Amino acid sequence: MNNVSMDQLISLCKRRGFIFPGSEIYGGLANAWDFGPLGVALKNNIKRSWWQTFVEERDDMYGLDAALLMNRKVWQASGHESTFSDPLIECKNCHERFREDQLPPEKKCPSCGKQEFTQPQQFNLMLKTFLGPAEEDANIVYFRPETAQAMFVDFKQIVDTYSPKLPFGIAQIGKAFRNEITPGNFIFRTREFEQMEIEYFIKPGDDWNVYFEQWLAAMKAWMKKIGIDQNKTHDLEVPKEELAHYSKRTIDIEFDFPFGRKELYGLAYRGDFDLTNHKQEYFNEETKERVVPHVIEPSFGVERSVLAVLASAYQEDEIEGEKRTWLNLPMRIAPYRAAVFPLLSNKPELIEKAQEVRKELQGAWPGFFPIAFDKSGNIGKRYRRQDEIGTPYCFTVDFQTLQDNTITVRDRNTMKQERIVIAEARKFLEEKLRE
């Protein structure tokens, strides 16, 4: 098991352009983070893998991409306007504000150490804005605090158009906003983040425990696929008194982040709470009955996935007295599937051949098979650069390539090299991708 610190992760992310502070040239904006070229590639690969697994590879799922801004009545019906709040307290000495439920056990102010606070006030977490030019109550809208509600609100649309049989699900990936009192720990808790959520609708009389367990297993299988270290994940059965207002049972899948064990994902049984609130029903063609389906909700945060994947993948070792930092990312989510190098940067014939190999590897869909190209510095340095961003394989074009169309392929994890013919290289990668 690797033990990475937040400083190591944050520094790697900044150094290699994965993630860095937003608005930095203007002094930044508290807890806003931007994803650079490698970060967005990693994030997109995680989202793509999720969508493939939970939507495209199943025949009981329907995809959705709803508007971020929804009618205010949605949040009144869902209970968010009245109950989606955290207890806010203020330190009477330094006037810093905190969530009461996140104070350390000794109840001391995390900023100044004093122990005197104001009475807690419920602070609603929804971010507000106004539609149109007049900033008045009638024009208030909220940025959605979760993607979930759109799937209940559009339930009728999906049922009317596709006539799905129960059980079936709706899935969505998209931004959510929460005016968190204490954001922090890099991208772990931010005010703007992305969710990947599923609302799985089941017949009211069916044993929901069965579906709950199936979804827990499906979540775990996907986590393994994207390289989340299973030794660092734990299921927390949320005690009844701490359940969210809509939930009848929740398991938080927690992860041992460098700053402690915290929630990574959630799985909730929401009963008929949501469809009842939105006055939605389902007409069962077989029994000719109108029913209100019950809901199982697997909910995933994109940024927390990125953080857990990076914390799982981060490795350091020593090669001939030099420290090597590398990311043990699965090939399916690594920003680059492979890299191609010409052995020397001043030999046009090697560069030209290496470009040809790169094209060959990318095939007809370069976007789906991104291959890095690097010709600067010595080969050892280029390997290190690719190791640090998690590229699993590096191909090198040398003088022998010009004679016999073979190239070397070097494995990130074992650092072993072998020679293969160019015509086999694409197949080599495709086989590794399937492993």
Positions in the binding site for ligand GAP (CB under 6 A)? 146, 148, 178, 180, 189-190, 193, 195, 197, 263, 265-266, 297, 299-301, 303-304
Type and span of the H or E element at 2: none
Pick between residue 200 and residue 300 the one whose CB is nearest to ligand GAP: 300
Type and span of the H or E element at 353: helix 348-362
Pick between residue 193 and residue 269 the one whose CB is nearest to ligand GAP: 193
Closest approach, Cβ 268 to ligand GAP, in A, equals 7
Pick between residue 177 and residue 314 the one whose CB is nearest to ligand GAP: 177
Q: Find out whether 386 and 415 touch, Cβ atoms under 8 Å.
A: no
How many Cβ atoms sit within 10 Å of the Cβ of residue 408?
18
Residue type, 7: D
Closest approach, Cβ 175 to ligand GAP, in A, equals 11
Closest approach, Cβ 90 to ligand GAP, in A, equals 21
Pick between residue 112 and residue 217 the one whose CB is nearest to ligand GAP: 217
Closest approach, Cβ 388 to ligand GAP, in A, equals 25
Among 364, 420, 419, 413, smallest CA distance to 391 is for: 413
Type and span of the H or E element at 403: helix 399-404
Q: Residue 150 has which token pair?
A: 């759109």
CA angle, residues 407, 409, 414, in degrees to nearest 5 = 160
Closest approach, Cβ 276 to ligand GAP, in A, equals 16
Find all residues with CB under 8 Å of 389, minimum gap 6, and list them: 16, 18, 38, 327, 334, 335, 336
Measured from each CB, the residue nearest to ligand GAP is 301
Closest approach, Cβ 42 to ligand GAP, in A, equals 16
Q: Residue 366 has which token pair?
A: 């370069």
Among 85, 147, 87, smallest CA distance to 117 is for: 87
Pick between residue 51 and residue 369 the one whose CB is nearest to ligand GAP: 51
Pick between residue 72 and residue 270 the one whose CB is nearest to ligand GAP: 270
Pick between residue 180 and residue 374 the one whose CB is nearest to ligand GAP: 180
Among 394, 405, 310, smallest CA distance to 353 is for: 405
Closest approach, Cβ 253 to ligand GAP, in A, equals 8
